[in-house]
């Protein structure tokens, strides 16, 4: 039976999105086996995910760029849940998203293969899986809790997903990733996402060998304050190892 995903929390229409069209996602809480509710509206602005994590891990209220949120104990058990969808602009402009939605639908199972490849390399307990929903444009990912254990990991997860939906399953995964990193011509399709993947990939490779550091959320809150500091702090801005390792990582 298809699963129902409903919008909860601050609706997308009220969020002050920095990126206001494209690949959208939202963390969900499980109401029951057939019903999941988003913690806020599905949004193309990935930075709101950082705010939700900080609130959930620290039990602090969030009021930022019109997102209002208090802890809802969304991270219980071995898995959490992500709703994903291609979003047009709030203004109504499509910006080619109808075509991108078709591509996501065509490659949704390959997207799971792509993410599972990285989860295997990272030695994640569990694997991302897919659940179909009543809305043909919305997909529910059943996601290992590992991915919401730090803000930089949720940033990496959504980056990989934004790249994964273009994977057509024709190539060996290792060769496909190497091709992405080497192919300058792919920039037009992947936009800034490919540049970010290339930038963070050395960090990723190192951490697959030495481990992915934990985040001290209390220390980070003390350093950044309760303003907007953590909102923009994704994996690109974090130093995961070495002498300049970000001070809130353990």
Summarize pLDDT for 52-65 with one digit per residue, the tens.
999 999 998 989 88
- What's the pLDDT score for residue 101? 92
Note the pTM of the prediction, 2 decimals: 0.92
Sheet strands (E) in the chain: 4-6, 22-32, 35-38, 62-64, 67-69, 79-87, 129-132, 139-144
- Taking 50 as the pLDDT cut, the residues of the chain under it are none
- What's the pLDDT score for residue 120? 95
Interhelix angle 173-182/192-210, nearest 10 degrees:
130
- What's the pLDDT score for residue 227? 54
- What's the pLDDT score for residue 147? 97
With CA atoms as reference, report the closest residue to 105 among 140, 142, 141, 139: 139
- What's the pLDDT score for residue 179? 86
What residues have CB less than 8 Å from 182, skipping those under 6 apart?
none
Q: How far apart are the first and last CA of the chain?
A: 43
- What's the pLDDT score for residue 189? 62
Helices (H), 59-138: 97-121
- What's the pLDDT score for residue 55? 92
Total residue length of the chain: 250
Place of tokens 């996601």: 143
Q: How many CA atoms lie within 13 A of 87 on its CB side?
A: 24
In angstroms, the CA 101 to CA 21 distance is: 12
């Amino acid at each position: 039976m298809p699963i129902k995903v409903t919008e909860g929390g601050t609706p997308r229409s009220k969020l002050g999105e920095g990126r206001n069209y494209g690949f959208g996602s939202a963390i969900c809480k499980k109401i029951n086996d057939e019903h999941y509710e988003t913690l806020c509206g599905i949004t193309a602005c990935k930075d709101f995910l950082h705010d939700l994590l900080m609130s959930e891990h620290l039990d602090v209220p969030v009021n930022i760029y019109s997102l209002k949120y208090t802890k809802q104990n969304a991270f219980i058990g071995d898995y959490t849940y992500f709703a994903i969808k291609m979003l047009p602009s709030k203004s109504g402009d499509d910006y080619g998203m109808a075509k991108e939605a078709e591509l996501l639908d065509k490659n949704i199972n390959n997207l799971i293969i792509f993410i599972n490849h990285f989860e295997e390399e990272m030695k994640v307990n569990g694997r991302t899986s897919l659940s179909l929903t009543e809305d043909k444009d919305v997909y529910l990912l059943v996601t290992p809790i590992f991915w919401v254990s730090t803000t930089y990991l949720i940033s990496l997860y959504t980056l990989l997903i934004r790249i994964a939906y273009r994977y057509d399953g024709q190539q060996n995964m290792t060769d496909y990733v190497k091709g992405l990193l080497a192919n300058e011509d792919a920039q037009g399709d992947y936009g800034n996402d490919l540049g970010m993947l290339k930038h963070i990939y050395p960090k990723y490779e190192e951490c697959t060998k030495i481990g992915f550091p934990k985040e001290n959320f209390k220390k980070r809150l003390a350093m950044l304050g309760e303003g907007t500091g953590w909102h923009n702090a994704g994996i690109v801005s974090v130093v995961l190892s070495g002498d300049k390792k970000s001070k809130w990582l353990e």
